[in-house]
Chains A and B, each alone.
Chain A
Amino acid sequence: MSVRRQIVPLSTLLGVALTACLPKDTRPVPARVDVTLSLSSGGVRVGTVDGWTVTLERGLLGIRSSLRGDACADYAPEGYTRIVDPFLDGHQKVNTLYSLGHCDIGFSVQSPSVDPYTPLGEHVTPADHAFMNVPGLDPYTVTSGKPVATGVAFHVTGRAVRGAQTKTFAWSFRQRTSSSRCAAPLDEREDAGPLRDARASDHGGPVDGGDAGSIPFYSDAGPPGPRGLDLTSAGDVRADLVVHPETLFLDSTNLAVASPRFDVLALADDRYGNGDGEVTIGELGLVPLEEVGGRGRYQQPPPLAEPPPATWKTLEDFVYLGLYPRVVRYRDRGVCDVTIGGGR
Chain B
Amino acid sequence: MLVLLTVGAVPARAASEGRGSPETPAPIAVVPPRLASSADVPYPAGGTADADVILELRVGADGSVRSARAVDGAEPYATAAVEAAYAFRFEPATRDGKPVASVIRFRVTFHAPAPPSPAPATGPTEALPEAAASVAAAATAPPRPSPPPPPPEVEVHGVRAAPAVSTFTRAEVRQLPGAFGDPFRAIEALPGVTPIASGLPFFYVRGAPPGNVGYFFDGVRVPYLYHVGLGPSVVHPGMVDRVDLYPGGYPAQFGRFAGGIVTGDATAPRDDFHGEYNLRIFDAGALAEGGFADGKGTVLLGGRYSYTATVLSLIAKDTTLDYRDYQARVTYDLGPRDRLTAFGFGSYDLLGQTSGGVETIVFGSEFYRLDLRYDHSFGADSTVRSGVTFGYDQTRFGDQRNSQDQMVSGRIELRHRISKGTLFRAGADVTRDAYSLDKYPYYDPETPGLRHYDETFPPRADLAVGFWADAVLDVAPRVQITPGARVDVFNSIGETRVGVDPRLAARYSVTDHVRIIHAYGVVHQPPGFLVPVPGLAPGGLKGGLQTSLQASAGVEADLPEDIEATATVFDNVFLDMSDLLGTRVGNIAANLDKRALGSAVGFELFVRRNLTRNLGGFLTYTLARSMRSFQNERFPSGFDRTHVLNAALAYDLGRHWRLGGRLVFYTGTPKVVQYRGATPPPPSVSPGRDPAFYRVDLRLEKRWNLKKSFWISFVAEMLNATLNKETVQSQEVGPVAIPSIGVEGGF
Contacts and interface: CB of A to CB of B under 8 A. Distances in A.
B326 A17 contact: yes
A178 interface: no
A231 B294 CA distance: 66
B400 interface: yes
B358 A17 contact: no
Contacts of A6: 273, 275, 288, 290
Interface string A1-13: 1110011001101
Contacts of A97: 444
- Interface size classification for chain B: 35 or more
A202 interface: no
B552 interface: no
B72 interface: no
A22 B399 contact: no
A135 to B, nearest CB: 7
A79 B447 contact: yes
B303 interface: yes
Interface string B360-379: 10001110000000000000
A115 B356 contact: no
Interface string A95-129: 11111111100000001111111110000000000
Interface stretch (A25-33, A36-44, A159-167, A274-282): A25-33
A24 B402 contact: yes
B348 interface: yes
A37 to B, nearest CB: 14
Nearest to B359: A27
A74 B355 contact: yes
A49 interface: no
A25 B401 contact: yes
Contacts of A99: 356
Contacts of A96: 444
A268 B139 CA distance: 97
A195 interface: no
Contacts of A150: 675-676
Interface string A143-186: 00000111100000000000000000000000000000000000
Interface string B699-743: 000000000000000000000000000000000000000000000
Given A22-B366, A114-B676, A80 B400 contact: no
Nearest to A8: B301
- Interface size classification for chain A: 35 or more
A13 B327 CA distance: 12
Nearest to A13: B303
A150 B674 CA distance: 11
Contacts of A28: 358
A75 B452 CA distance: 19
B168 to A, nearest CB: 27
A326 B366 CA distance: 48
A3 B356 contact: no
A69 B438 CA distance: 27
A149 B358 contact: no
A144 to B, nearest CB: 12
A116 B451 CA distance: 11
Nearest to B395: A22
B301 A14 contact: yes
A18 B346 contact: yes
A14 B326 contact: yes
A45 B108 CA distance: 99
Contacts of A114: 586-587, 590, 676-678
Interface in B323-367: 324, 326, 328, 346, 348, 350, 355-360, 364-366
A316 B675 CA distance: 25
Contacts of B17: 2
A306 interface: no
A114 B587 CA distance: 7
A151 B452 contact: no
Q: Which of A22, A72, A98, A100 has the most CB of B within 10 A?
A: A22
Nearest to B446: A119
B305 interface: yes
Nearest to A14: B326
B730 to A, nearest CB: 12
A190 interface: no
A100 B354 CA distance: 12
Nearest to B586: A114
Given A75-B400, A101-B356, A7 B299 contact: yes
A20 B450 CA distance: 28
Nearest to A30: B442
A98 B442 contact: yes
Q: Which of B286, B303, B448 has the most CB of A within 10 A?
A: B448
5 closest A-B pairs (Cβ-Cβ)?
A101-B356, A73-B356, A73-B358, A117-B448, A3-B290
15 contacts: A2-B16, A3-B299, A17-B305, A20-B324, A21-B348, A71-B357, A80-B444, A80-B447, A98-B442, A100-B356, A112-B676, A113-B677, A114-B678, A115-B448, A115-B677
Interface of A: 1-3, 6-7, 10-11, 13-14, 17-18, 20-22, 24-25, 27-28, 30, 69-80, 82, 95-103, 111-119, 135, 148-151
Given A7-B288, A70-B356, A114-B678, 8 more contacts: A22-B365, A24-B402, A78-B398, A79-B447, A80-B444, A95-B444, A113-B678, A114-B587
